[in-house]
Amino acid sequence: MTNHPSRSNGMRRIWKEHLYKVLVIGDLGVGKTSIIRRYVHQTYSSNYRDTIGVDFALKVLNWDSETVRLQLWDIAGQERFGNMTRVYYREAMGAIIVFDVTRPATFEAVIKWKEDLDSKLILANGQNIATVLLANKCDQGREMTNSGIKMEQFCKDHGFVGWFETSAKDNFNISEAANFLVKHIMSTENDTLTTVVPDTISPQLNSDRQMSCSGCFKY
């Protein structure tokens, strides 16, 4: 986080800027790229090619008197818990795990993705990074997510800060989910990330870089 002084009506105030790296992970074909494109560019296509390795996108938000820049990392589903995820996860402050409500196997993989993430990133206070679960493609069916109580319990049991039904096609709950995650990241920004085991990468905030982000989620 960086602070920049500015003057307003003769008063000196501090304008805060933030840069947050957010991982978007989940099985192949669950809609990670579509979610990012919808959120960042407000576009949708059913013809995206599968991501190879990792892709990046940047979203700048205005959050009250602060600026937040989200660096979204679109991590390919075929990377599935491999050694390269240690590199991709570096410096992440939050994560989104996505599954496809029409494909039960992608929901079953959610726990593995979360366990892989938690094994490689942890805050100095012992907490895991804020992670939101997205039940994507709800425009095609909601059979797997009709029971909100069960999903709430699943999130509690596995350390998710929350979950949302989403549709990149219909632009449903995409911004709401992202803003919800940003709120949680900001509340833990001062915690330095550290490793759990010696062979994991130790992510740390780079306070020298310019940052920016904002989004207003109403509770």
Cα separation, 193 vs 57, in Å, equals 22
Instruction: Note the pLDDT of residue 166.
Output: 96
Which pLDDT band holds residue 219 (cuts at 50, 70, 90)?
A: very low
Q: What percent of the chain has pLDDT over 70?
A: 68
**Mean of all residue pLDDT scores within the chain:** 78
What pTM, to 2 d.p., does this model score?
0.77
Element at 162 (helix H, strand E): strand 162-165
Cα separation, 36 vs 98, in Å, equals 11
DSSP state, 189? T
- pLDDT: is 165 or 83 the higher one? 165
Instruction: Note the pLDDT of residue 210.
Output: 37
Query: Is 188 a residue whose pLDDT tops 60?
Result: yes
DSSP state, 170? T
Contacts 24+ apart (CB under 8 A), 11-17: 13/65, 15/65, 15/66, 15/67, 16/65, 16/66, 16/67, 17/66, 17/67, 17/68, 17/69, 17/210, 17/211, 17/212
Reported as a single tens digit per residue, the pLDDT across 124-163 is: 777 899 999 999 999 997 666 666 668 999 999 999 999 9
Domain spans of the chain? Answer: 16-193
Which pLDDT band holds residue 218 (cuts at 50, 70, 90)?
A: very low
Instruction: Note the pLDDT of residue 216.
Output: 34
Instruction: Note the pLDDT of residue 8.
Output: 46
What pairing do the DSSP bridges indicate for beta strands 92-100 and 162-165? Answer: unpaired
Element at 68 (helix H, strand E): strand 66-75
Instruction: Note the pLDDT of residue 158.
Output: 96
Is 16-193 a domain of CATH 3.40.50.10860?
Answer: no
